[in-house]
Structure 1
């Protein structure tokens, strides 16, 4: 309960209907700040630049859709063995605590039109399934690797957070990779259970989840608006936390979230979670329509839905529906109504079926498909390019440097030119063929990097045989020894003709199972992914024809081949090919890990390392930056109509009485 000058905590007693009320300052809450220690901030020009980059791949309609559509995070919380011991080795007590934490986090995110659905709990009562130590960096990487290899194949979900009873080194109380939501590799974080009350860990978990969403810290230079003053805890993404605890998000967090959603982060969040897997069982008032319910708009006090009776979870008279993008004024929208715009050239729109109030699951192009109007390939529903990354790092006017810059700089195998780190934690030299997958090299743009106060400009002059020199501009951000920086080329970036950066190597897109669909559909087809619980269609070779041709082709198919059964849609599997590895594989940092952010108590002072002695052939300058036939046609038609049903196109044909 947050009043003007006081914060109170109201919680039920263990027995009976009695509740206890006490002041927030009486909570034993360890103060802490984010454990990355670099406090990345984005100046106004960076926010404008980022918006420009995103808008070039997005429509204004999608911007409204991304904000108005409710997002659902299917969350799994794991408690390590130390947390189990800390709670008296009582599994049920641990589960209850984790459920309370998830409940708080869900409350925090509702203001952002995001629901956090707890779809699973796991308690490591027999010992940790992965190494969790006082080193937060190592613990984060170990947990994320375990999640990808073990947890994700068994229990599909969007994000996983570890609640640990271990006291991390220094003042760190939480850590998570930034802008990693929905990825198999990095969608998660670690949180130290630092308070007697679960609210403390909930605030930290909400903070780390925010980093997964792409939210950065609310630093003074950003000028963030927060409706809670500092003496009342400020906002959730503040670099430090303590009493009073923050419970709201700032204007900066909302802008960061909007920018991330426009870019395609969170592609897995637009589907409703399977209510059968929700933790805690069925309950009227939890906001999810479960068996026996016609609607659920939350508690009676908070329900504003005119179509639903909050106390009974039944529809009001004359109402046909109450929720979903395909429900308007308590009635279903007509079949074929577009309910979700494409977010970029790698995404596809979805349409109402006319029978379901919910918009169909999100569909996007297969990894490796060529981006429309952009020289790049699609990866996880996003078009990654060197150009976009250079603009992000250096601002408008920046562009990729010539190939010789990548080759010469990234062959060094040092902090300023590398292809990530090897299994021993040493910087790896880039082979010539992989040079464009290492540290990104740019030209032009601002005088200094625009990504934060601890960014360093690495300028390298390369002499040419014909005379003259080429200036190559790279960046380095001082993080921890185990943390890569945002100057590394992102996974999915095009590095050659039909080539893409994967695990810091320039590989042929054929490794992604891409089929030349256009040759099978008169050069109008595309392969798609269907994301449901972060899963996709496996090896989709079917095609979706685009434009008006799809309607005529399906009409022709239905009329000519009425007895041809549609092929069965392939079974769904995880959208990322997962390999079976040992439970706790060595941490390989050669794969891309976005900038990791966390919560230490006092931000460590950053010391800029003196420039290393440059190799004879290169000159480096380091500048610190402030803050077919008939038969063929028959098969093609089956494929077209089949996938048309999956992607929501068949409702359009039904609307035409086909």
Structure 2
């Protein structure tokens, strides 16, 4: 199904829960189960098995009619890179289209419906289609162009792939130097498709550190930083692939000490409002959050339980539904409400992306909600819960920051690992700057 979009799905891990379920799949709504699954993936699965996205297949008919749910555009996210589906019948091909639909959401694809009204995979109803629309192709292209699919450029190790080794399957197996597909499909001048060997004189065939069949020089930037809380990576001069994506350690202050870094993003209220409502949108006053989120409706809540909106306790109201001001009327979803709070217009919206897509207007985990406090799971908790455990003055001699692996990423002019001698910057994880 994905081949038409030039996407190759590779299975790198398979777990079958036979003795006990690692999360509860019987209680709550599809959204509740999805939240539990991505939390388990982050805390457990990723430590054992690197993956770009996880999918949970559940042996039940549905959750109040919902047969799947996924976060949109989160394929490379450690926090929300997941989706779920229910196996409701023995027709495995039909179920495969449901899995393809939910993975499509992870890859940035929205529902077709009015945009491409014919029956394609990304239509909001389960129609059994095996084809993606041009709308889906455009959505995926936008994800890539906006830097959302960086992890897709590094193929998995052959030892982790659940597939019989074969030349021409687009997977780099242990005995291969390259694999660009079958001879009739391959147009890569660096790879001989018939033998899966590099062509004479070629050092590499693909990868962010491969150009014109040669390794890029050491220090060439292969992945730019996408946010203040992200970190760049560099080629090492002897390998075709960019190092693993690394970012500043969770809990590091950003946005002039008004926010925290969380999985590579500075989680400020203003940036979240701009992402939803366009440039210039800003966080509404705290009073707006309190008045809206204690109601427990679609415009103000702290998530759902069993498909029912939860009211926010006052002390957690900043961690529920996002409330914004200075909103452009041209960017408003159809279902929006405005309230006048102390002379300020506060906006909240129901984006109505479909029953299989979580609400994108919930305040993100890691957002600061008070002095030394941050949002985690719809609660305003001590910021230490984010896991920051670095003294940059002591560990990095004040010349760098700690990265997500706990190592120093040195500023330009200083060398890793401790940023205490002259060098070109970077870390043990980033490749040579």
For the criterion TM > 0.5, the same-fold answer is yes
| C-alpha contact 1:130 1:143 (8 A) present in aligned 2 | yes
Q: How far apart are 1:375 and its partner, in Å?
A: 5.2
Larger of the two Rg values belongs to structure: 1
Question: Quick one: structure 1 residues 130 and 495, their matched pair in 2 at CA, closer, same or farther if it must change by over 3 Å?
Answer: closer
Q: How far apart are 1:426 and its partner, in Å?
A: 6.1
1:118 aligned residue: 11
| C-alpha contact 1:325 1:358 (8 A) present in aligned 2 | yes
Distance between the aligned counterparts of 1:396 and 1:139, measured in 2? 33
- 1:185-264 matches, within 5 Å, as 186-193=80-87, 198-220=92-114, 222=115, 230=118, 233=119, 235-242=120-127, 245-250=129-134, 252-261=135-144
TM-score, L = length of structure 1: 0.57
SS of the residue aligned with 2:10?
strand
| C-alpha contact 2:70 2:357 (8 A) present in aligned 1 | no
User: Is 2:374 aligned against 1:500?
Assistant: yes
SS of the residue aligned with 1:115?
coil
CA offsets 1:317-369 (integer angstroms, 9 cap, x no match): 22222222222222222212222222222222221111111122222211222
Distance between the aligned counterparts of 1:328 and 1:461, measured in 2? 56
Question: Quick one: structure 1 residues 271 and 368, their matched pair in 2 at CA, closer, same or farther if it must change by over 3 Å?
Answer: farther
SS of the residue aligned with 2:359?
coil
- 1:87-236 matches, within 5 Å, as 104-105=1-2, 107-109=3-5, 111=6, 114-124=7-17, 136=30, 140=34, 143-144=37-38, 147=41, 151-164=45-58, 166-168=60-62, 172-184=66-78, 186-193=80-87, 198-220=92-114, 222=115, 230=118, 233=119, 235-236=120-121
Distance between the aligned counterparts of 1:502 and 1:641, measured in 2? 37
Q: How far apart are 1:118 and its partner, in Å?
A: 0.4
Distance between the aligned counterparts of 2:358 and 2:206, measured in 1? 42
Distance between the aligned counterparts of 1:393 and 1:642, measured in 2? 35
Distance between the aligned counterparts of 1:128 and 1:429, measured in 2? 29
SS of the residue aligned with 1:202?
helix
| C-alpha contact 1:344 1:382 (8 A) present in aligned 2 | yes
User: Is 2:339 aligned against 1:460?
Assistant: yes
Distance between the aligned counterparts of 1:407 and 1:279, measured in 2? 49
SS of the residue aligned with 2:9?
strand
Q: How far apart are 1:196 and its partner, in Å?
A: 6.6
Answer 1 or 2: which has greater helix percent. Answer: 1
Q: How far apart are 1:306 and its partner, in Å?
A: 0.9
Q: Across the two proteins, how many residue pairs are aligned to each other?
A: 431
Q: How far apart are 1:474 and its partner, in Å?
A: 2.5
- List gaps (5 residues or longer) in structure 1: 1-103, 464-468, 530-536, 555-565, 567-634, 653-658
Question: Quick one: structure 1 residues 639 and 476, their matched pair in 2 at CA, closer, same or farther if it must change by over 3 Å?
Answer: farther
Question: Quick one: structure 1 residues 260 and 376, their matched pair in 2 at CA, closer, same or farther if it must change by over 3 Å?
Answer: farther
Distance between the aligned counterparts of 1:181 and 1:238, measured in 2? 20
SS of the residue aligned with 1:209?
helix
Distance between the aligned counterparts of 1:239 and 1:144, measured in 2? 22
1:82 aligned residue: none
**Superposition CA RMSD, Å:** 3.8
User: Is 2:311 aligned against 1:437?
Assistant: no
- List gaps (5 residues or longer) in structure 2: none
Greater relative contact order: 1 or 2 (C-alpha under 8 angstroms, separation 6 or more)? Answer: 1
TM-score, L = length of structure 2: 0.83
SS of the residue aligned with 1:161?
strand
SS of the residue aligned with 1:490?
coil
CA offsets 1:60-105 (integer angstroms, 9 cap, x no match): xxxxxxxxxxxxxxxxxxxxxxxxxxxxxxxxxxxxxxxxxxxx55
My pick for the range that moved more, 367-376 or 202-211, is 367-376
Which of residues 277, 286, 295 is equivalent to 2:160?
Answer: 277
Question: Quick one: structure 1 residues 288 and 407, their matched pair in 2 at CA, closer, same or farther if it must change by over 3 Å?
Answer: same
User: Is 2:338 aligned against 1:338?
Assistant: no
